[in-house]
């Protein structure tokens, strides 16, 4: 049986966040935050941007269970604050590495590379979470 919703278009591509176009943080090297639907379920740790990578961490604060899916979206901006590209970090639970002993993982580190064609042009970044699924 297939369920359909006639007024709802089928999703295409990767998930996005509506505020990505306007989230440019300003000063070169700065990292801003893109609001998303899961902001009440995690705490973003220190996030840095060196012109080639966004590096950071996320702490799950909702009912903690195994992290099944996580996607961190980065927007990259030029010197005028215009969105010039995107990058993503995606975590999928690896069932083969899943262990039942001990508490579930609450902490995830991420690295998102600036697309090669944008290196030297991207001067700021912003991050948000469009996907967060835990048990």
pLDDT bracket for residue 2 (50, 70, 90): low
Could you tell me if residue 43 is inside a domain? yes
Question: Is 38's pLDDT higher than 60?
Answer: yes
| Total tally of structural domains belonging to the chain | 1
Per residue in 43-56, pLDDT tens? 999 999 999 999 99
- φ/ψ region of 45 (left if φ > 0, alpha if ψ in -120 to 50, else beta) reads beta
Q: What is the CATH number of the domain that holds 101?
A: 2.60.40
Per residue in 117-132, pLDDT tens? 999 999 999 999 999 9
Per residue in 11-22, pLDDT tens? 667 889 999 999
C-beta separation of 118 from 75 below 8 A: no
Which range, of 1-10, 26-35, 104-113, averages the lowest pLDDT?
A: 1-10
| Boundaries of domain holding 70 | 21-134
Could you tell me if residue 16 is inside a domain? no
Could you tell me if residue 12 is inside a domain? no
Please, what is the Cα angle at 110 between 61 and 20, to 5 degrees? 85
pLDDT at residue 10, rounded to an integer:
63
pLDDT at residue 67, rounded to an integer:
82
pLDDT at residue 83, rounded to an integer:
97
């Amino acid at each position: 049986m297939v369920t359909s919703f006639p007024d709802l278009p089928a999703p295409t591509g990767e998930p996005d966040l509506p505020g990505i176009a306007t989230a440019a943080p300003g000063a070169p090297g700065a990292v801003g935050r893109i609001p998303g639907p899961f902001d009440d379920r995690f705490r973003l740790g220190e996030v840095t941007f060196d012109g080639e990578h966004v590096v950071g961490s996320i702490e799950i604060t909702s009912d903690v269970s195994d992290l099944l899916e996580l996607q961190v979206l980065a927007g990259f901006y030029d010197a005028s604050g215009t969105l010039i590209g995107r990058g993503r970090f995606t975590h999928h639970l690896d069932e083969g590495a899943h262990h039942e002993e001990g508490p579930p993982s609450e902490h995830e580190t991420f690295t998102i590379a600036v697309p090669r064609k944008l290196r030297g042009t991207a001067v700021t970044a912003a991050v948000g979470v469009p996907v967060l699924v835990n048990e």
